[in-house]
Amino acid sequence: MNAAKRYEIFRRLREANPSPKTELEYTTPFELLISVLLSAQATDVGVNKATRRLYPVANTPAKILALGVDELMSYIQTIGLYKTKAKNVMATCQILLDKHGGEVPRTREELEELPGVGRKTANVVLNTAFGELAMAVDTHIFRVSNRTGIAPGKNVDIVEEKLMKFVPKEFLLDAHHWLILHGRYTCVARKPQCWNCIIADLCEFKGKTPTPANA
């Protein structure tokens, strides 16, 4: 795909949604971090239902630690893998208090030292909470990048590298949200809504979309 076509794709996505936001509900970087931790193999809708109950009671590392792991699990038990996630959240809160004064660190290296935080989660926090140019490649972004030809690659690392290189810089801050929303509601996995797609004439989809090797 040439640069002019990529530019037009993101220009249209911006025109349709000038201020894209994550669908996870949060008010602080810490709340976002915990919500993203909980969202692995779960829907944003499901995470939001749980955190609407949790955050009014405990939305800081100290308050979540004070709950204890069993009570934390009672708030998030509707989310998949909730037992493992609860343990990771508790361990993360302890590290935040011990090493970072209760604040969410602003570097990828420090974020990835937190239990349950991988590159994708770190990128979400860096981009969404702190306004850094970062690309968190989930299954939606992987699919859209490959299917359209914007940034094809056999695994999420390659797709991330290509997106960071090929997305015009003026769109890079919000590209993560545009691609996720496009993949979630239009360029869906089984039956993409090409008839309702604002970039259909620019898409280079010619066959089966690959499954990410390390998503």
Domain ranges of the chain: 3-20+135-202, 29-129
Which residues form the catalytic set? 120, 138
The answer, as to whether pTM is greater than 0.95, is no
pLDDT computed for residue 178 by the predictor: 97
Question: Tell me: the pLDDT tens digits for 64-103?
Answer: 999 999 999 999 999 999 999 999 999 999 999 999 999 9
pLDDT computed for residue 41 by the predictor: 87
Look up the CATH superfamily of 29-129: Hypothetical protein; domain 2 (1.10.340.30)
Annotated binding residues for [4Fe-4S] cluster, written as ranges, equal 187, 194, 197, 203
Same fold across 3-20+135-202 and 29-129: no
CB 110 within 8 A of CB 130: no
Cα separation of 129 and 132, whole Å? 8
Annotated binding residues, written as ranges, equal 187, 194, 197, 203
Question: Tell me: the pLDDT tens digits for 131-190?
Answer: 999 999 999 999 999 999 999 999 999 999 999 999 999 999 999 999 999 999 999 999
Query: CATH assignment of 3-20+135-202, given 1.20.1560.10, 2.40.30.70, 3.30.200.20, 1.10.1670.10?
Result: 1.10.1670.10
